[in-house]
Each structure stands twice: as structure tokens, then as C-alpha cells.
A and B are shown apart, each in its own frame.
Chain A
Amino acid sequence: MRFKELRDSTQLKKIYDLRLEIIRQMRMWFYDCDFVEVDTPSAVISPDIEPHLNPVPVEFYNEHGEKNNFYLHTSPEYAMKKLLGAGYEKIFQICHCFRNVEESGNTHNPEFTMIEWYRAPGNYFEIMDDLENLFKAIGKKINVSKLQHHDIAVELNTTWERIKIKDLWQKYLGVNLDDYLTTKKMGELAAAHDLQVAPSDDFTDLFYKIFLNEIEPKLGQTVPTIIYEYPAQMAALARLCSDDNRYAERFELYAAGLEVANCFGELTDTKEQLTRFENERAQREKMDKVVLPIDKELVSALEYVPSAAGIALGVDRMVMLLTGARNINEVIFNTVADQLEK
């Protein structure tokens, strides 16, 4: 929203004031849990090279007029893991992240606020507890007991549902995900559900086509739901499950139909990390995207971290859920869309 709208509308002011209070309470909660607040650069030479992300390029000129190409971070993940490598054990950061070529409006703004926190040592079940406790503690402080998105409201203070993705697929599709962990089999399943299958679709594309049409609309409708243990192909920076390496330690939170957080039991095996970076780089080339440098410093930092778990939570979306705001423009001051409006 713009300053004039904020000035004239009690409704918008109420939402914005709640945003400010939520962030304040969030900080206090982490301080009370003995986390240290850290502060890492927004401009980095090696951004996250996940193939589907589009980092915003920036140009730095030094006093000789020499140019260096940097990027605004899409998430502070890499830098925070380096701090774990420096010896920090419980850290959090609330910062702006930037992503190009995504929507402006609804639930996206190219510049948005993320909170990330890490535990080293740690496992991702501890993070699930953190997430549930954080939401409930904040809800209590601001007197909110429901999470709302559009026409769906869910009770905040019940025990949240935690369900493995494999069990989710069994529940909603009646199939054993173990049997569909190849691109070919996933393609057959998509076709069986009347979904288009293109020759260029990889496993992740097909997984999401099915998931977004058949499962996601039903998630988090009655209770906030954490879905965990993703197929290994979708691990990103998560480590594989020690008891079943076809799956990875990754979870996401859905509430009132909205995806709000993404968490990993962190990959700390440096050899495996380097291999994943090389695969991501190759995929970016295949997709005709800007080839970005591999962050070797991150790989060396991981040498010092035996175990860790971390999470990225969208603060703007969290505020939307706690206030019932219908569009991200209501919870962010001067969004990109606001600034572009004549």
C-alpha cells in the first residue's frame, strides 16, 4: 500500500501495525530462545543457483570505474551456512530477499521479507517444533487464534498435522509414491490424471503438476499442515534420509491453502554438495539461463558443520495469514506494483 492509502484506511493501518508488531514479537521469541540475530550481505557474487530462481543483477563500480557483477540474494541461506562454518550454533535473520520474473501481487512481490533460522547441531524435527511454537506464541501476543487466507480459516492452536509426502500421495491419490520415483512413472501417473506431459518435463515438473492439481488445493484447509520427506530429486540443499536415500529431509508448511515455509535437514557432506551444485549449473545451461558461479566458499564452510537444520519462512505471507489480508500489497509498504502505478 502507499502512504495515502495507509493514512486514509483504518483497515490497512490495522494490518500494517500488526505486521510491525508480528516482526517485533518474532525477534523477541528468538532472543528468548537464545538465538543470535545475524546480518549478511544482500549483494553477493554467488547467489543461489537453483535453476528456477532468477536473481536480480546489480553492478558495483569501484573508484577506478571497474565494474563487478553481483546479485541481490534470493535467500540468505548460503551466507548463514557460512556463519555456521564459523562456529555459530543458533542463528536467525530477518531480511529482504529479491526474486526476478515472478508475479507482483497476490502472494508475491519481487522484494519480500524472509526469516531464516538454523540450528547446528540440529535436525529438522526440532525446526518443525520451532515453527509451530513460533506461530502460536505470536498468535497469543497479538490475540489471533485463526490463520486466514481468502475464504479459508484454520485454527492456529490445535496440534498441527505432520504428514510424510508418501502418505499424502497414498491418501489423496491411492498410490505408493515409492513406485513412482522415476520421470517415466511420474509421467504415466500425470497422464492417468488427464494432465499434459511434455517431453521436456523433468521429475519435479511432473510431481508438481500432479501435486498442484490433485493434492495442494486440499492441504492445510482444516489445520496447518507440515508435509515432509520429499523425493530425493527435489532435495535442493537437504540431506537424504539416512534410512531411505530415495527421500530427503525437507518439509514445507501449508496453512489455509498457502505455502509459507521451506525447511531442510541440511546437507553437510561437501562432496555431495559440490555434485548438486554442478548438476544445478548444468540444468541452468540447459534452460538457457544465466550461468552463475558455484559458491566454493560455502562448500568449504560445510566442512566444519557436522549436522544442521534450517528453514526459510515468508514473513509477508505469515502476516497475511495472521491478519486475513487478501493480497500481499496490503502487508507491504510501497510494493513494486505500488511504485509502478501511475
Chain B
Amino acid sequence: MNKYIYSFLSLISNMASTNEIRKGVVIRQSGDLFVVVEFQHINPGKGAAFVRTRMKNLSNGKVVENTYKTSESVEIVDVNFQTMQFLYKTGDNFAFMNMQNYEQIEMNGDLVGGEGKYLKEGVECVIGLYEEQPVSIQLPKKIKYKVVEAPPAVKGDSASGNVTKEIKLDNGLIAYAPIFIKEGEEILINTETGEYSARA
């Protein structure tokens, strides 16, 4: 019976189930708007299902943590998700362009967060817009970079236990890669962990 009430309600309002929570989704709670920055399913005891979310208050930037039973109702606000390409950074702002209609937007460094360091020209991100304003950003899981600086592997490296070395990428990012990676090579970095993933 409950599931029919939820579907009906979501037709006439924005009430949805916590099952629909994803990163970047915007929730209205106690009158404020929050963007979900992290969520995780937990199964306490012998398996009852709950969703733990970390959400950022869009008006004051404070992060709160809430744990909901799955299928609890939350008010999910309509966010327009668009794929946009990163263009450049000016000061503290990151500029993106929608390649279909050439519309441009700027996102503040605070909103982009730590992941900003992975951005380089041309990277396609999914940006959430609420009432035309950007509220969230999702980077691709892996991004391809060119290695611009990599010290050559020294004979005896593996023997002495050095199997990774510091390298510099084409957007200025510093990372660690296996010692056999050379300057000029293209590699993939995992944006969730910041670690070398594979040769491109």
C-alpha cells in the first residue's frame, strides 16, 4: 500500500524515496536546500537497509550527516543535470561550457571542492543546476593525462624497493606512478583515489 502512496505523491510533489539519493541530488529539508556530497548504504545488525548521507547546506555551506531508512521519503528538488566541458580557471572560479548550446557557467572553487585539481581543458563533467545555478559537479571516474615530467627509472630501483615515482601531469597535478612510466606517455588517474590507474 505504501509504495502506491509514494508514487502518487511523487506525481503531485517532489516527494521521493531515499532509494533515489545519489551524489549531486538536491534535497529540501527543514526549509533548507542540501546537495548530497556522499552517500553510503549500511546494513546494521542482520541486514536492515539504511542510507547514510553527507549533505552540504547550499545557503551556508555547512555539512550535515543524516542516516535514513531506505524507502523513507525525502523531498528531492528538481535538478537539471547537464554535461559540460571544463574550459579554464580564472581566479577561484572554474568555467564550463555546454557543448550542445554553447552556454557557459562559472562555478566557485568552494563548490567544486578538492576535485578541482583533476580538471583540465576538455574534461566532461556532469553539473547539477538548480534554478539555473550550479549546485554540484561529478567528474569522470578516470581522466587521461599526459606525463610532462618523470624522472627516468634508475637501475636498481626495484631492488631498493622503489616501485613508484613522483610525476607531473599536463595540468600541473603531481601524482605517483610506476617507475616504468616515461615522459610523454599518457596515463589514467582514478579521480576517487588520486592514484595511477593504468596506461591510457
Name A residues whose Cβ lies closer than 8 Å to a Cβ of B.
Answer: 4-5, 8-11, 48, 50, 52-54, 74, 99, 101-103, 106-108, 194, 196, 198, 200-201, 204-205, 208-209, 211-213, 216-217, 234, 236, 252, 259, 262, 326-327
Contact of B43 among A10, A102, A194, A211 (CB under 8 A): A102
Among candidates B44, B73, B195, residue contacting A212 with C-beta atoms closer than 8 Å: B44
Contact in complex: B44, A259 (CB < 8 Å): yes
B7: shortest Cβ distance to chain A, in Å? 16
Q: How far is the CA of A71 from the CA of B161 in the complex (A)?
A: 46
How many B residues touch A, CB cutoff 8 Å? Answer: 30
A212–B46 touching, CB < 8 Å: no
Q: Which residue of B lies closest to A204 (CB)?
A: B48
B45 to chain A: closest residue by CB = A234
Distance (whole angstroms) from the CB of B40 to the closest CB of chain A: 5
Q: A4, A9, A53, A262 — which one has the most chain B CB atoms within 10 A of its CB?
A: A9
Name B's A-contacting residues (CB within 8 A).
Answer: 2, 30, 40-50, 52, 65-69, 72-73, 161, 163-164, 178, 193, 195-198
Q: Is the CB of A212 within 8 A of B198?
A: no
B43 contacts A236, C-beta separation under 8 Å? no
CB contact under 8 A between A52 and B48, given known A5-B197, A217-B65: yes
Chain A residue at minimum C-beta to C-beta distance from B3: A288
Which chain A positions have C-beta within 8 A of B68? 196, 209
Residues of B within 8 A of A327 (CB): 193
- Bound Cα distance from A218 to B47, whole angstroms: 21
Q: Determine if B44 and A196 form an interchain contact, defined as CB atoms under 8 angstroms apart.
A: no
8 Å CB contact of B44 from A8, A106, A211: A211
Do A8 and B45 contact each other (CB < 8 Å), given the known contacts A196-B68, A198-B72?
no
Known: A196-B73, A209-B67, A326-B193. A52 touches B41 (CB 8 A): no
Q: CB-CB < 8 A to A209: which residues of B? A: 50, 67-69
B40–A8 contact, CB under 8 A? no
Does B178 contact A208, Cβ atoms closer than 8 Å? no
The complex places the Cα of A103 from the Cα of B43 at a distance, in Å, of 9
